[in-house]
Amino acid sequence: MAVVEARNLTKVFKQGELGAVNNVNLETREGEFLVLLGPSGSGKTTLLRMIAGLETPTSGEIRIGGDIVNHLTPRERGIAMVFQSYALYPHLSVYNNIAFPLKAQKVPKEQHKQKVEWAAGLLGIERLLQRKPRELSGGERQRVALARAIVREPRVFLLDEPLSNLDAKLRASAREELDEFHDRIKTTTVYVTHDQVEAMALGDRVVVLHQGVVRQIGTPREVYDEPADTFVATFLGSPPMNLLEAEDAIVGFRPERFLPADLQTSGKRVSLRLHVQHSEFLGAERILYGILDGTRFRDKPVCARVSSSVLETYVPDTAYDFAVPEHELKFFDAKTGKRIPPRPLSWQ
Amino acid sequence: MAVENRRLGAAMFFPAIAFIVLLIGAPFALAVMYAFSDARIGSPGFHFVGFENFRSILQSPSFQAALRNSVVFTVCAQIIVIICSTILSIALEKPFRGRKFVRFLILLPWVAPISLGAIGWKWILDSIYSVITWVLVWAHVFKPYGAPMWLGEPHLAMASVILVHCWRLIPFSTVIMLAGRTAIPKDIPEAAAIDGAGFWRTLFQINIPMMAPIISVAVLFGTIFTFTDMTVVYILTAGGPFDSTQTLPSLAFATGIQGSDLAAGAATSLFLVPVLILIAYFMLRAAHRAEVA
């Protein structure tokens, strides 16, 4: 187990263009599950590939376990990586796929069988050992890729969107398994995803990346509840945070905190009238899209997320009384988009 | 509509079928016929003689030498071609300055007419004007007039013929190999690098096995081109010295056309058929496997 650090890490693919990764600083903790989250093109995979040694940084430093590893090949870094495509060797059986890193790293032959069986057992794929990758389902392939990664007991695990090739149902169970798996082996893990649900569910901490720049590093709760800027505020959460521009500040609130006024009786709150334009019924909840009525924010689009257990029906083209608790309002600088302390705001 | 379609289909097929029937089928049938006859260029009439031609050529030392040479020629050339084209395909895979130009240069021997290339090599290997000999003499490897005759000594002549043929076939093989390498997803060699495999392990345990179907296509095509080729042999040595570079096709040409014994020439060339059928069978199987994979 080891800590991974990136210091002022930059990768520029084409000189003169914006880098894929720009001056990134981050540090995992011992045994942590760190998630790199960002939209496509945010540099998260490039960052992971630099840690793996598959990409050479333009500048900056990578340390694993305290040692600078910039000049080391992937094999010398003591890492294991699971690729998005799993990258199983198609011509080798599952057994030989898992044994490949042992052979490559010259682990004594008599230990191979026992280690392969240990890894396969950990992932519940003992009965697949004689099969070829093409005879496996997506979920099974993913487990083989994980088994191949753990068999050599790496210091650090790197996972590049390992769940994105699975269908929605399988993804949820695979996510849970991955979580359990990490709890058991407790190896420092860096996990790349563009899926915020995965990031929130799995991450001890989440690094939000945008255009190669770290926007925020924090626990899932921190990045969700206390976003550092408007990008993080809108990238996380579905539907995203409502943002209203007022003078030199932007005020934001989460759709699920924007509720019918009669449900919020205690505490200070801001009352707003929501003119519902259309609503989506999603089973457990209902999403209301509309514009604000009255106040200075007239006609600004907002949405609300109301639990289905609220029995009231919302008729399109009708205005309802809604409210937000005052402490749920987040303020951002209008120019930089950065978070600023709460300030008094006239709503009228 | 259906009738029209069928006519259109037939019309589209016609040129291919006509080509095969007229330029391959008919000469082949003729060759089979001649092989069982006593036809000569002066008297091409048909007199059935059974297996007489086959019996007599099997006993001829020239034929035995040609058969042996054909095998040596094909096997050696293919080994060299596959090794060289694998190396070239690795070298040409990653982008570098001037890669397009190098690719063009490498492809050149394949594009140039084989007779021109072979005549060029005939001069390069000539007993008097050989530029290789000149360089070696200049470098004091050999004394003047003491240099070997590249095409005049049995083993050297065979080696020369093999090398010239390789020079011609390598580009073709390299192109096939490059296509095969680009078909390997980039992730897989990367995964191997992460798993700790070095260059050789990745090459022999990952890349080459994954390219096996495409390599077998290259080998089988190359084998056919080599086994049936007579241009290089004919131009460089005409089978000599003392039949030491004679192959089945060149022997068939020499006896059938130049020696005017059509029947013996036809029988000689028919010996190629079983080998070629076998190769064609494996080729189709390999192509099928490449498609499936």
Helix (H) or strand (E) holding B91: helix B61-93
Higher pLDDT, residue A152 or A232? A232
Q: What was the pLDDT predicted at A215? A: 94
Q: Name the pairing type of β-strands A59-64 and A330-333.
A: unpaired
Chain A partners within 8 Å of B196 (Cβ)? 74-75, 101, 104-105, 152
> Phi, psi (5° rounding) for residue A277?
-105, -45
Are the beta carbons of A83 and B190 separated by less than 8 Å? yes
The answer to whether residues A82 and A145 touch, using CB atoms and an 8 Å cutoff, is yes
Whether the per-residue pLDDT at B271 is higher than 90: the answer is no
Region A167-171: mean pLDDT is: 83
Cα A179 from Cα A252, distance rounded (Å): 32
Alpha-carbon gap: A286 to the closest alpha carbon of chain B (Å):
42
Region B83-103: mean pLDDT is: 85
Q: What was the pLDDT predicted at A332? A: 93
Q: Dump pLDDT digits (tens) for A71-89.
A: 998 888 989 999 999 999 9
Chain B partners within 8 Å of A73 (Cβ)? 193
% chain B with pLDDT above 70: 97
Alpha-carbon gap: A327 to the closest alpha carbon of chain B (Å):
48
Cα B247 from Cα B135, distance rounded (Å): 31
Is residue B171 reached through a cis peptide bond, with omega within 30 degrees of 0 on the bond before it? no
CATH of A4-225, one of 3.40.50.150, 3.40.50.1400, 2.40.170.20, 3.40.50.300: 3.40.50.300
Whether the per-residue pLDDT at A269 is higher than 90: the answer is no
Best CA proximity match to A165, nearest among A131, A185, A187, A195: A195
CB of B9 within 8 Å of a chain A CB? The answer is: no
SS3 content of chain B, % helix, strand, coil (to 5): 75, 0, 25
A237 pairs with which residues across the strands?
none
CB of A13 within 8 Å of a chain B CB? The answer is: no
Q: Dump pLDDT digits (tens) for A62-71.
A: 999 889 999 9
Residue B154's pLDDT band (cuts 50, 70, 90): confident
Are the beta carbons of B190 and A87 separated by less than 8 Å? yes
Cα B290 from Cα B183, distance rounded (Å): 11
DSSP character at residue A19: P
Cα B131 from Cα B147, distance rounded (Å): 12
Q: Dump pLDDT digits (tens) for B177-213.
A: 888 888 888 889 999 999 988 889 988 898 888 888 8
The answer to whether residues A286 and A330 touch, using CB atoms and an 8 Å cutoff, is no
Are the beta carbons of B201 and A52 separated by less than 8 Å? no
Q: What was the pLDDT predicted at B120? A: 85
A292 pairs with which residues across the strands?
A274
Are the beta carbons of A100 and B210 separated by less than 8 Å? no
Cα B163 from Cα A65, distance rounded (Å): 54
CB of A107 within 8 Å of a chain B CB? The answer is: no
Region B161-172: mean pLDDT is: 89
What is the chain B residue with the closest CA to A160? B187
Whether the per-residue pLDDT at A155 is higher than 80: the answer is yes
- Token readout for B91 is 């070298």
Average model confidence (pLDDT) across chain A: 89
Q: Which of A53, A83, A105 sits opposite B191 (nearest CB)?
A: A83
The answer to whether residues A233 and A223 touch, using CB atoms and an 8 Å cutoff, is no
The answer to whether residues A33 and A220 touch, using CB atoms and an 8 Å cutoff, is no
CATH of A241-340, one of 1.10.10.10, 3.20.20.70, 2.40.50.140, 1.10.4190.10: 2.40.50.140
Whether the per-residue pLDDT at A283 is higher than 60: the answer is yes
- Token readout for B177 is 């190999």
Q: Is A157 left (phi over 0), alpha (psi -120 to 50) or beta?
A: beta
Residue A203's pLDDT band (cuts 50, 70, 90): very high
Q: How many residues does chain B have?
A: 293
Query: Chain centroid to CA B192: how far?
Result: 35
CB of B274 within 8 Å of a chain A CB? The answer is: no
Chain B partners within 8 Å of A148 (Cβ)? 195
Maximum average pLDDT range among A208-217, A266-275, B23-32, B59-68: A208-217
Which residue in the block uniquely carries the two structure tokens 């982008």?
Answer: B95
Query: CB-based burial of residue B12 (10 Å sphere; 0-12 exposed, 13-18 middle, 19+ buried)?
Result: exposed
Q: What was the pLDDT predicted at B1? A: 56
Maximum average pLDDT range among A331-340, B119-128, B138-147, B235-244: A331-340
Are the beta carbons of B194 and A79 separated by less than 8 Å? yes
CB of A79 within 8 Å of a chain B CB? The answer is: yes
Q: What was the pLDDT predicted at B292? A: 54
Chain A partners within 8 Å of B207 (Cβ)? none
Which residue in the block uniquely carries the two structure tokens 């990031």?
Answer: A199
The answer to whether residues B70 and B252 touch, using CB atoms and an 8 Å cutoff, is no
Region A255-274: mean pLDDT is: 85
Domains of chain B, first to last:
61-292 (1.10.3720.10)
Q: Dump pLDDT digits (tens) for A11-33.
A: 998 887 788 899 999 999 998 99
Residue B266's pLDDT band (cuts 50, 70, 90): confident
Which residue in the block uniquely carries the two structure tokens 């192509």?
Answer: B287
3-state secondary structure at position A157: strand
Spatial strand order of the sheet with A285-293 comes to A259-260, A318-325, A269-281, A285-293, A301-307
Are the beta carbons of A104 and B210 separated by less than 8 Å? no
Chain B partners within 8 Å of A52 (Cβ)? 194
Whether the per-residue pLDDT at B290 is higher than 70: the answer is no
Region A167-187: mean pLDDT is: 86
Whether the per-residue pLDDT at A204 is higher than 60: the answer is yes
Region B239-253: mean pLDDT is: 81
Q: Name the pairing type of β-strands A188-193 and A156-160.
A: parallel
Q: What was the pLDDT predicted at B136? A: 80
Q: What was the pLDDT predicted at B123? A: 84
Taking chain A, what is the end-to-end CA distance rounded to the nearest angstrom? 56
Whether the per-residue pLDDT at A173 is higher than 70: the answer is yes
Residue B2's pLDDT band (cuts 50, 70, 90): low
3-state secondary structure at position B33: helix
Q: Which of B194, B206, B293 sits opposite A74 (nearest CB)?
A: B194
Cα B240 from Cα B157, distance rounded (Å): 8
Taking the domains of chain A in order of start, what are their residue ranges? 4-225, 241-340
Query: Chain centroid to CA A174: how far?
Result: 15
ipTM score: 0.81
Best CA proximity match to B202, nearest among B286, B289, B90: B90
Query: Hey, CA dihedral for A105, A106, A109, A114, is it positive or negative?
Result: negative
Comparing A5-14, A22-31, B73-82, B267-276, which segment has the lowest mean pLDDT? B267-276
Higher pLDDT, residue A197 or B147? A197
Region A266-287: mean pLDDT is: 87
Alpha-carbon gap: B256 to the closest alpha carbon of chain A (Å):
48
Region A221-229: mean pLDDT is: 93
Query: CB-based burial of residue A72 (10 Å sphere; 0-12 exposed, 13-18 middle, 19+ buried)?
Result: middle
The answer to whether residues B78 and B226 touch, using CB atoms and an 8 Å cutoff, is yes
Are the beta carbons of B188 and A87 separated by less than 8 Å? yes
Query: Which amino acid, one-letter code, is at A330?
Result: K
